Amino acid sequence: MLLFFLNLTVTGGSFNGLILYTNMISTISKYIHLQTRLTVFSHIYIYILNLVPSFEACFYKGMNMYAKIWVQLTYPIYLVLLAITFIIGSRYSTKVYRLTFNRALPVLATLFMLTYTSMLQAIASVPLYTTIITIPSHSSKNLWLLYPTIPLFGWKFSLLISVCFMLFLFSLMFNAILLFTKLLMRFKVIHRFKPLIDAFQGPYKYQYYYWLGIQLFIRNVMVLLCVLGKNISLTVSCIIIVTVAIFQGYIQPYKNKLINIQELLLLYNFVIMCILLIFNGNETMDIITVNVMVGLSFLHFLIILVYHLYTFVITIYCAKSTKTVTAVWNYIFEKCHSGKQIHNERFTMEIPEAQYNFANFQEPLIGAD
């Protein structure tokens, strides 16, 4: 509801850089043990903007890691199905089209971007966290490391890996659509998804519609690096973000220059934090560095939130003022219109009488004889 009423969506563009920043912090904090350097406030701020709980959530007694992975995957699946439902419904219903054209699809696009990284992390954790456990006097078994009571290639693990594989293919397809939108628009099938694509690519210049696809590709690469190579993930991530920041500063893909500046500030915030973590061996300084940089991004988020709240209040005030002015104008118009009607009625009533009296005083042109 906050995203809906304040129009805090990726279609506006002001929220895109902040989502990318928190997604990257969430990725490196999970795989290089950055959680120990984050304060409770930083934990809550980062994980709320990634739409995941900042604590080990347990919804019922006996909830294991297998169920937690399913919970983590359920929300992106729900958003995908909801978006497909809106797209199909907008083609056959005018009411659904008006709703999606206004705010529904931008909010769904924003929620999908918020959960994109957590979905990738859940997908990556399923096939990669496997191990071989050898039991004495028994044959060795392939077990899932996150929950070793589940054997590999059993029906539980097979179902989970199948869903993860389908979501991975969907993320690749979606990434390809956003990267090569201009080329794929030649096919009529892509036109059906145009309302959703427009919700993502709205703030970008036409020649740089591919930029959001590049940002999604950066998320994919960072998750893969952090899972496979934990020792080099921070250095490689820093090099990638520096390259992207330089290129983005040169082309300025957003229509609004202010949005270009604020996203560059967030990218350089992440780069400075990575450089200080790489070359600084003091744990106390690392804690200060991480939380100061995250605090600056939170200040950035507050500025965006206040701006959208101010815009929302101004919009309501202008709407009320417009209604008041319209009501006064309609009242005056009705009074003037009713006055004209009364005057016309009196005029038409007096004409026959005047004609009748005038006829009485007419003299005949020919004599009576």
CA 99 to chain centre: 16
**What's the whole-model pTM score?**
0.75
Q: Which amino acid is at 53?
A: P
User: Measuring CA to CA, which residue among 200, 215, 204, 280 is closest to residue 245?
Assistant: 215
pLDDT band at 66 (very low <50, low <70, confident <90, very high): confident
Contacts of 24 (CB under 8 A, 6+ apart): 218, 219, 222, 237, 241, 270
More confident residue, 126 or 254: 254
Greatest mean pLDDT among 102-106, 170-174, 312-316 lies in: 170-174
Q: Which amino acid is at 84?
A: I
As a whole number, the mean pLDDT across the chain is 76
What's the average model confidence in pLDDT over 250-262? 90
Helices (H) and strands (E) in the chain, counts: 14, 2
pLDDT in tens, 180-206: 888 888 887 777 778 788 888 888 988
pLDDT band at 253 (very low <50, low <70, confident <90, very high): very high
Q: Give the pLDDT of residue 265.
A: 92
The DSSP secondary structure of 136-174, one letter per residue, reads TTS--EEEETTSTTSBTTSHHHHHHHHHHHHHHHHHHHH
Report angle CA 304, 307, 313 to the nearest 5 degrees. Answer: 140
pLDDT in tens, 291-316: 888 889 999 899 988 888 888 788 77
Q: Give the pLDDT of residue 356.
A: 46
Contacts of 10 (CB under 8 A, 6+ apart): 16, 19, 106, 109, 110, 113, 199, 200, 202, 203, 212
Q: Does the pLDDT of residue 25 top 80, yes or no?
A: yes
Considering the chain, what percentage of its residues have pLDDT values greater than 70?
73
Q: What are the residue ranges spanned by the domains of the chain?
A: 2-324
Residue 310, token pair as written in the block: 């101010």
Least confident of 30-44, 162-176, 239-253, 324-338: 324-338
